[in-house]
Structure 1
Amino acid sequence: MSTHTLLMIEDDARLAQMVSEYLGQNSLAVIHCADATSGLERLQPSDPSELPDLVILDLMLPDMDGLEVCRRLRALPGVAAKVPVLMLTAKGDPMDRVIGLEMGADDYLPKPFEPRELLARIRAILRRRGSEGAPASQPIPALRFGSLEIDRDARTVTVASQPCELTSYQFDLLVALAERAGRVLTRDQIMEAVRGRELEAFDRSIDVHMGRIRAAIEADSKNPKRILTVRGVGYVFAKQQD
Structure 2
Amino acid sequence: MNGIHDVGGMDGFGPIQREDNEPVFHAPWEGRMRAIHTLVRRKCHIYNTDESRYYVERIDPVYYLSSTYYQNWLLRMETLLMERGVFSEGELQEKMDQLCPSFGYQPDLHRRVMPPTPSTQRKFVIETKTDAEPQSEPKFLPGTLVKTKKVSPLGHTRLPRYVRGKQGVIEKMNGHFILPDIRVHQGIDVYQPVYLVCFEAKELWGEDAYSKDKLYIELWEDYLDLGGVQNEQQ
What TM-score do the two structures reach when normalised by structure 1? 0.27
> Which structure would you say has the larger RCO, counting Cα contacts within 8 Å and 6 or more residues apart?
2
CA radius of gyration, larger in? 2
What TM-score do the two structures reach when normalised by structure 2? 0.28
Return the structure number with greater strand share: 1
